[in-house]
Structure 1
């Protein structure tokens, strides 16, 4: 049985200005808020998503990658 490799880096894309930044995701909590470094828009998850990485990132958060509920 092979272990799932959890990715800890995700590129967040601001829906307001399109700015992208690679961030390291927390492994022990959801990140519900994120401020865009470029336009200072405050991002929060879309309806049905648990965190900003699941909504705006290139990689889902670690708990979702593991098949668990994030929050």
Structure 2
């Protein structure tokens, strides 16, 4: 996966907590629990994962041009 960034910074839309996270390279992550407020983040409509919705970098499958792996 040459040129694929595997770290993204997620920002919670509820409390603004910012956290650097390692992304899975072979799948989308549909849920993420905020360590700031405990909210369970889910992708926005049209996005395949929480990284595409709330991260600084889209998930590796999207970066690779493989499209959404969530269906």
TM-score scaled to structure 1, two decimals? Answer: 0.92
Q: How many residues align?
A: 69
Provide the C-alpha distance between the structure 2 equivalents of 1:61 and 1:30, rounded to a whole number of angstroms: 7
Q: Which structure 1 residue ranges, 4+ long, deviate > 6 Å from structure 2?
A: none
Structure 1: runs of 5+ lacking an equivalent? none
Give yes or no for contact 2:27–2:61 (8 Å, CA) kept in 1: no
Let me know the Cα RMSD of the aligned residues.
Answer: 1.3
- Tell me what 2:18 maps to: 20
- Structure 1 residue 43 corresponds to structure 2 residue 38: no
Residues 11-54 of structure 1, C-alpha deviations (whole Å, 9 max, x = no match): 00000000000000001211000000010000000000000000
Q: 2:65 aligns with which of 50, 59, 67?
A: 67
